[in-house]
Amino acid sequence: MIELNQRAEAVLRQTVARLSDGDNLTNICPSQWRGEPLPSQEAVRDIVTLSRALVFPGFFGDSDVTRENVLYFTGLWMEKLYHLLVEQIHAGISMSTCTDSMPQYDAIQRLAAEKALSFIETLPELRRVLNTDVEATYHGDPAADSVQEVIYCYPGIKAIANYRIAHELVKLGVPIIPRMISERAHSETGIDIHPAATIGESFTIDHGTGVVIGATAILGHHVKIYQGVTLGAKSFDLDESGNPIKGIPRHPIIGNNVIIYSNASILGRITVGDNAIIGGNIWVTNDVAPGERLIQAKADNILRIKQ
């Protein structure tokens, strides 16, 4: 080990003091200085894995699961999931509670436990809805050989699974953890679905990379979107300080049985009616009527250069 000279010791000591000074910790709540739990990326990863395993046993988690031992594995995974949920929901609530006084740990723990149980109660319905997404994806893709292939391999299903897990936690008022779950899918698949978005059953994302769905977007049933699609905001209302105002509906409402092809950008609080089709590479900022089809004009003046 290299010995520190006097100057090195002084620089290290001064920098440590500056980085540890309370005035320098601008993004850390005072309550977090006293040892409150903080969310863990590893624990959130395990929550996703266990939730996927409980919804699709054998496809995620332990591959040794069979019809004969599924009860054992389900019980094992469920207990692990419960304890992780309580821990991470507690951490999320603690992190979002910014106060100069000591938080009431016992009350937060009880609240976290209740929210964890409420989430676990949604798992059977979550499986039913995700199976509609799997079936829609399988029937909508001629290249898919089986529903098993869709569950195992398709990034769209992985992203939708994370979204539906995170969305249930959003509905329960859990802070921070849902966004961590959705961002794991974003990193894993390139598909960015905000957990607060509302998405109906039989949802399909084909190919998927580059898809963005904003927080206030509402999608009906049997919606199919392709890679590069953005359901985004056109502009933001600002407050007196010039900061975006939170919570205002600013993303599209998509009806039932809508198909949106690759790289289409649908922006603002507009409505796309039932059974509409949006062609690829189109910028849409006005309402689309039910059954309407928007397509690009044909490029008749293409310059073709012979080699």
Mean pLDDT of all residues in 61-87: 90
Sequence length of the chain is 307
pTM beyond 0.75: the answer is: yes
Higher pLDDT, 8 or 260: 260
Task: Give pLDDT, residue 203.
Answer: 98
8 Å CB contact between 71 and 89: no
Helices vs. strands in the chain: H and E counts, helices first: 8, 14
Task: Give pLDDT, residue 99.
Answer: 65
User: What are the boundaries of each domain within the chain?
Assistant: 34-190, 197-296
CATH architecture for segment(s) 34-190: Orthogonal Bundle (1.10)
Mean pLDDT of all residues in 67-78: 91
Among candidate residues 209, 241, 246, the one with its CA nearest the CA of residue 225:
209
Higher pLDDT, 70 or 132: 132
pLDDT category of residue 224 using cuts at 50, 70 and 90: very high
pLDDT category of residue 303 using cuts at 50, 70 and 90: low
State how far the Cα of 8 lies from the Cα of 4, in Å rounded to an integer: 6
pLDDT higher than 70, residue 216: yes
| Domains 34-190 and 197-296 fall in the same CATH topology | no
Mean pLDDT of all residues in 198-206: 98
Q: Which of 36-40, 190-194, 300-304 has the lowest average pLDDT?
A: 300-304
8 Å CB contact between 75 and 61: no
- Does the domain at 197-296 match CATH 2.160.10.10? Answer given as yes
Task: Give pLDDT, residue 299.
Answer: 61
**Tokens encoding 160:** 């939708």
State how far the Cα of 12 lies from the Cα of 25, in Å rounded to an integer: 18
Mean pLDDT of all residues in 227-246: 86
18: alpha, beta or left, given left = phi > 0 and alpha = psi -120 to 50? alpha
Residue that the structure tokens 């995170």 belong to: 166
Q: Which residues pair with 126 in a beta bridge?
A: none
pLDDT higher than 90, residue 173: yes
Share of the chain above pLDDT 90, in %: 70
Angle at 268 between CA 267 and CA 273, to 5 degrees: 80
SS3 label, residue 69? coil
Residue that the structure tokens 């009527």 belong to: 289
pLDDT higher than 70, residue 118: yes
Task: Give pLDDT, residue 60.
Answer: 85
pLDDT higher than 70, residue 192: yes
Residues 6+ apart with CB under 8 A from 184: 44, 45, 48, 162
Q: Which of 84-88, 103-107, 153-157, 180-184 has the lowest average pLDDT?
A: 103-107
Task: Give pLDDT, residue 30.
Answer: 60
Which sign does the torsion angle of CA 163, 167, 169, 170 carry?
A: positive
pLDDT category of residue 238 using cuts at 50, 70 and 90: confident
Question: Mean pLDDT, the chain, as a whole number?
Answer: 90
State how far the Cα of 153 lies from the Cα of 248, in Å rounded to an integer: 36
Mean pLDDT of all residues in 210-225: 98
pLDDT category of residue 83 using cuts at 50, 70 and 90: very high
Q: Which residues pair with 277 in a beta bridge?
A: 259, 293
Higher pLDDT, 22 or 115: 115
Task: Give pLDDT, residue 179.
Answer: 97
pLDDT category of residue 307 using cuts at 50, 70 and 90: low
